[in-house]
Structure 1
Amino acid sequence: MASPRVSVGRLAWVRWAADVMPWDSSEVWVARYSAGRRLADPVRVAGGADESAFQPQWGPDGWLFYLSDRTGWWNLYRWRDGRTEAVAPMDAECATAPWESGYANYTFLPDGRIAMTVQRGPAQELVLVSADGVVSLPVAYTSIKPFLAVVGDRIAVIGASPARAQEIVLVSTDGAGGVEVIRQGPDQQSGDVSVPELMTVGQVTALVYPPSGDARPAPVIVRPHAGPTYHSDLRLDGEVQFFTSRGFAVADVDYRGSTGYGRPFRKALDGQWGLVDVADCQAVAQYLIDTGLALPGAVLISGASAGGYTALRAACEDGPFALAVARSAIVDPRQWTTTAPRFQRPHAEILAAPDAAVRADQVRRPVLLIHGVRDEVAPIDDVTALADGLRERGLLVGMLALDGVGHYVSGSALATALDAELDAYRGVLKDAELPPS
């Protein structure tokens, strides 16, 4: 259960079954709420087995607002006394997959308008919804965190773009595009910044960052995002810039299963994890080779957490990848159901394909493993056992165990990990007698 919201004499909340994820199946409920904290006459407002409904908020007009993907897209609805209305129907995602219960993809302005995020593919925008329709606000951000709030007649936003780090700003709602920066991000990039080109390969979108100088063809790092029910962020990424400034192109892949493309696309990974995501990464890599953007023999794949699992599965095939880097990787999704946080344990059960575990005898490409010794989400034991098997087969580039580090690698540990990754890539180029980056 999540998101309790109280109005006068009423309580709304979200619930979902223990064996599903709320972005697959969840419900919004309402009940009468008395001063003695007793609930009466509960009513299911929205949601069900094939519908994800969440983020209830009581509007200033007494209606209950919520987000639902009943049409295949997370859109905004309102409900009152059994009557339901679509507020702003569109073929776009107006919600973020509910990894946390405090998200706010929409909020109410004093004049009755609604501020809301809208996502199409990896790109997000900020819009105003009123009786006259939907109007985009002219802000430069393409990545907006789901924590909108109203301050007077302005909207507080955490926004970023491919050339601008995340920052907290107040956005005016008069249409003039006024933005007051409250706190600037600590990682503002100076000098040359690689800005991605959005490419479509079949039904898959990739953010392709050129190397400094835009040399073509170039060695390419293909990156499946973590999550896996998430998407590639269209914002300044220090890891991407680390590699592009050293002569590598980077391709972030929104493989099937990603958010931002509607429910059918998001559900396409169910029972297919390690299969369709790998196929999508391979297709992007091959497209970059065929179009002369990627240097044949120097196409690499790297991922963290769930993305690390995709990278390992890719190393089990004869595709275009010369090397796989797996950081904080999940090795066996079935085993992961016992170690993942309780909230996420059904995730692997829903996604995992048969014979989902990565075994050393399946691997066909060299692998670099990077893992935190104190990782409690994906414990290091599975990775250590995989490393031992790869070492025996001559396919282990290295096993970097980060002391005192958990599942999320940052700070000096991240710098160490990136240096190890770069060394591994340069080793591939040297062994293939390709120009160094």
Structure 2
Amino acid sequence: MDGDDDGVRIRDDVCRRSRPVVDLCCDQVRGQRRGDEHDRGEHMRPAPTAGDVAMARTSYDWLASHGGLLHWVEAMPETGKAVVASWHPSWGSDTRVHELARDSVGSGLHGYGGMPYAWLPSLGTVLVNGVTGQIEHAKALPPTRHSYGDLAQSGDELLCVREDDQGDQLVAVDVVSANRRVLRETDGFLASPRSQGRRLAWTQWSKDVMPWDSCEVWVANRVVGGPISEPVRVAGGPNESAIQPQWGEDGSLYFMSDRTGWWNLYRWRSGLVDAVAPIDADCATAPWESTYADYVLLPGSRIGMIVQHGPRHHLVVVQPDGGVAPVSLPYTSVKPYLAALDSRIALIGSAPDHAQEIALVDTNGSEGVEVVRAGTVLATALSVPEEIQVESSRAEVTVLFYPAVGQDAPAPLIVRPHPGPTHQSKLRLDWEVQFFTSRGFAVADVDYRGSTGYGRTFRKALDGNWGRFDVEDCRNAALHLIAVGRAAAGEVFISGASAGGYTALRAVSEDGPFALAVARSAIVDPQRWTVTAPRFQRPHATILSHEDAKVVPARVQRPVLLIHGARDTVAPINDVTELATALRTRKMLVRMLSFDGVGHYFSDPAALSAALDAELDAYRAVLRGTGLPAAE
């Protein structure tokens, strides 16, 4: 997927079980399957099945605090729903759930979502329906043609952003009367409304740019029940991405900006902007979804903040004098949803040997960690990655290399370009990786040029070179691992989802070490994608693409397994179906699996399980040397 792909994105998979409905190949890749037990000794733990992996993808997102409570969105594969959960320190291990009668909580704002709930002091929780995109509450709110998200509390009034094909509107909603007032509108995009007293802040960007390239922070005066006035641009411009505004108690406005080449924290007060904590590192996440919070304001004028060094995340506390104090954590990956509960920082953290969990972290120097909501644990041996630097055509790229469990000899290798492509590999437990490493495969996650967490210059290196630099970096990562004896030549595969699927398809369209490509939810034609992508992402396709960007079936040199959801609104299935037909004619199609009722993210456990099994079957067919089935 694009953006942050760790979560179970139930909002577009319509919460129903799926079945494969399209198979364009006359044979299935079957063959003799190994059992789920390792054959290297009884001391090894059982490998997780594809079904285990699919059911282990419980996800936590949109963490926030209100009135001494923590709230978050919890997506649960076992029920097929996403709900809002609440927790108070006095409740112990108990949580309370706020859910919709039939559908999941979720927002499709800008294609990828914005905060889908808010807590109003006298009215309780307000939710966005992940299927209809409408706001739901005990008081009926008449539906409109828009998709809602980015909900924020302003007294007993609700602020939000809504979108239709014409553009965005920043709206104030009186939930009791159902009155909606448009405060700001544009044919571009709006996000992150934040109010304090009679002041309102928000971000906005033009319809032909992406917010990580160019985004502005604005401030205006506002009277509750009335319009806004005297809007002023605080930061941002054509070559600056200013994001994540938050008001301080003293009336200062904080925000992130990459004006130095790194996303760092700044403060606007008395009409002047100053740097809060200059660091040669990205301290913000590329804003695929609205309402990210990579920093949180703490009592005593302190600030908790995530600092990224490539795929590794750190937590620091910025002191009132500007000093930066690291906070020791058991996590190497922290989601961009920091919240404060008194002086403690609430976060969603994970590590390569630690599933994501919600925890409270002390900031008083004791570095205590209280787990609020634990992650899913599977009884299996884990592969822990090594960070490797690989030279690739005047660039150095980071690779997370996961060795095959229990194997020291060169192993079959799966190279994985991440989705996005303006995204990054995550240094955290990924059960899909463990599914393969527990079966004798090594896995390499590649942060190719264009990845985030390495500054603006590296992030923009892929502009106009999509399908070139990313492919080159993945190829060089594979060749390096072969050269140093970590991967077996002739047994190297490439697998990706969404933009990563596009990279995989392009990689087998030229000479290289890859014996097979697996493309899930893949983009096929970036030029056509400028029209078929969600409105938010159409500029992305234009910025990344070039005249030779399309995957051309005649150029594909290695077999391809295609896996796609029939309800994919990010990368519509038609392009993939056309590609499958052409590859079948050339006998380069292993199989095409299409799943009815499934969207871009393969949230449905049955669909994901079938996809993983099909991928494993294809790899094993190559390793057996019996050949892959070719379409008639």
After TM superposition, the score normalised by the length of structure 1 is 0.97
Q: Tell me if 1:55 matches 2:237.
A: no
Figure out how many residues of one structure are paired with residues of the other and give that number. Answer: 432
Contact kept in structure 2, 1:164 and 1:189, CA below 8 Å? no
Report which stretch shifted further, 374-383 or 152-161: 374-383
Measure, in 2, the Cα distance between the counterparts of 1:216 and 1:264.
Answer: 38
What displacement does 1:377 show? 1.8
State which of 140, 156, 161 in structure 1 corresponds to 2:351: 161
Report which stretch shifted further, 158-167 or 172-181: 172-181
Measure, in 2, the Cα distance between the counterparts of 1:364 and 1:284.
Answer: 20
Instruction: Give the aligned partner of residue 220 of structure 1.
Output: 413
Q: Tell me if 1:15 matches 2:204.
A: yes
Q: Tell me if 1:72 matches 2:72.
A: no
Measure, in 2, the Cα distance between the counterparts of 1:432 and 1:266.
Answer: 42
Instruction: Give the aligned partner of residue 339 of structure 2.
Output: 149
The aligned runs of 1:426-437 (5 Å cut-off) are 426-431=620-625
Instruction: Give the aligned partner of residue 92 of structure 1.
Output: 281
What displacement does 1:355 show? 1.9
Q: Does the residue aligned with 1:322 lie in a helix, a strand or coil? A: strand
Q: Does the residue aligned with 1:324 lie in a helix, a strand or coil? A: strand
Instruction: Give the aligned partner of residue 611 of structure 2.
Output: 417
Contact kept in structure 2, 1:73 and 1:91, CA below 8 Å? yes
Measure, in 1, the Cα distance between the counterparts of 2:421 and 2:562.
Answer: 19
State which of 512, 515, 525 in structure 2 corresponds to 1:322: 515
Measure, in 1, the Cα distance between the counterparts of 2:484 and 2:378.
Answer: 30
What displacement does 1:144 show? 0.6
Contact kept in structure 2, 1:165 and 1:189, CA below 8 Å? no
What displacement does 1:378 show? 1.4
The aligned runs of 1:237-256 (5 Å cut-off) are 237-256=430-449
What displacement does 1:41 show? 2.4
Whichever residue aligns with residue 235 of structure 2, its letter is A
Instruction: Give the aligned partner of residue 363 of structure 2.
Output: 173
Instruction: Give the aligned partner of residue 399 of structure 2.
Output: 206
When the two chains are superposed, the root-mean-square deviation of aligned CA atoms in Å is: 1.3
Instruction: Give the aligned partner of residue 336 of structure 1.
Output: 529
Measure, in 2, the Cα distance between the counterparts of 1:275 and 1:13.
Answer: 36
Measure, in 2, the Cα distance between the counterparts of 1:59 and 1:217.
Answer: 54
Instruction: Give the aligned partner of residue 374 of structure 1.
Output: 567
Whichever residue aligns with residue 122 of structure 1, its letter is P
Q: Does the residue aligned with 1:55 lie in a helix, a strand or coil? A: strand
Contact kept in structure 1, 2:276 and 2:322, CA below 8 Å? no
Measure, in 2, the Cα distance between the counterparts of 1:385 and 1:183.
Answer: 44
Instruction: Give the aligned partner of residue 184 of structure 1.
Output: 374
Whichever residue aligns with residue 113 of structure 1, its letter is R
State which of 571, 577, 592 in structure 2 corresponds to 1:384: 577
The aligned runs of 1:295-314 (5 Å cut-off) are 295-314=488-507
Contact kept in structure 2, 1:163 and 1:189, CA below 8 Å? no
What displacement does 1:248 show? 0.2
What displacement does 1:38 show? 2.6
What displacement does 1:33 show? 1.9
Report which stretch shifted further, 423-432 or 222-231: 423-432
The aligned runs of 1:19-30 (5 Å cut-off) are 19-30=208-219
Whichever residue aligns with residue 619 of structure 2, its letter is Y
Higher relative helix content: 1
Measure, in 1, the Cα distance between the counterparts of 2:213 and 2:494.
Answer: 29
Q: Does the residue aligned with 2:567 lie in a helix, a strand or coil? A: coil
Whichever residue aligns with residue 158 of structure 1, its letter is I
Q: Does the residue aligned with 1:111 lie in a helix, a strand or coil? A: helix
After TM superposition, which residue ranges in structure 1, 4 or more long, deviate above 3 angstroms? none
Q: Does the residue aligned with 1:212 lie in a helix, a strand or coil? A: coil
Instruction: Give the aligned partner of residue 129 of structure 2.
Output: none
1:132-179 deviations in Å (ceiling 9; x for gaps): 511111111111111111011111100000001110111111122211
After TM superposition, the score normalised by the length of structure 2 is 0.67
What displacement does 1:36 show? 4.9
Q: Does the residue aligned with 1:381 lie in a helix, a strand or coil? A: helix
Measure, in 2, the Cα distance between the counterparts of 1:292 and 1:53.
Answer: 44
Q: Does the residue aligned with 1:30 lie in a helix, a strand or coil? A: strand
Whichever residue aligns with residue 589 of structure 2, its letter is L
Q: Tell me if 1:137 matches 2:327.
A: yes
What displacement does 1:412 show? 1.4
Measure, in 2, the Cα distance between the counterparts of 1:175 and 1:142.
Answer: 19
Q: Tell me if 1:280 matches 2:470.
A: no
What displacement does 1:333 show? 1.1
1:41-100 deviations in Å (ceiling 9; x for gaps): 222111100000011111122211000000000000001122111000011111001111
Instruction: Give the aligned partner of residue 5 of structure 1.
Output: 194
Measure, in 2, the Cα distance between the counterparts of 1:94 and 1:164.
Answer: 23
Percent of aligned pairs sharing the same letter: 65
What displacement does 1:279 show? 0.4
Measure, in 1, the Cα distance between the counterparts of 2:547 and 2:510.
Answer: 16
Whichever residue aligns with residue 273 of structure 1, its letter is W
Measure, in 2, the Cα distance between the counterparts of 1:341 and 1:379.
Answer: 10
Measure, in 2, the Cα distance between the counterparts of 1:188 and 1:166.
Answer: 10
Contact kept in structure 1, 2:277 and 2:322, CA below 8 Å? no
Measure, in 2, the Cα distance between the counterparts of 1:189 and 1:275.
Answer: 38
What displacement does 1:432 show? 7.7
Q: 1:396 to 1:163 in 2, by over 3 A?
A: same
Question: What runs of 5+ residues in structure 1 fail to find an aligned partner?
Answer: none
Instruction: Give the aligned partner of residue 160 of structure 2.
Output: none
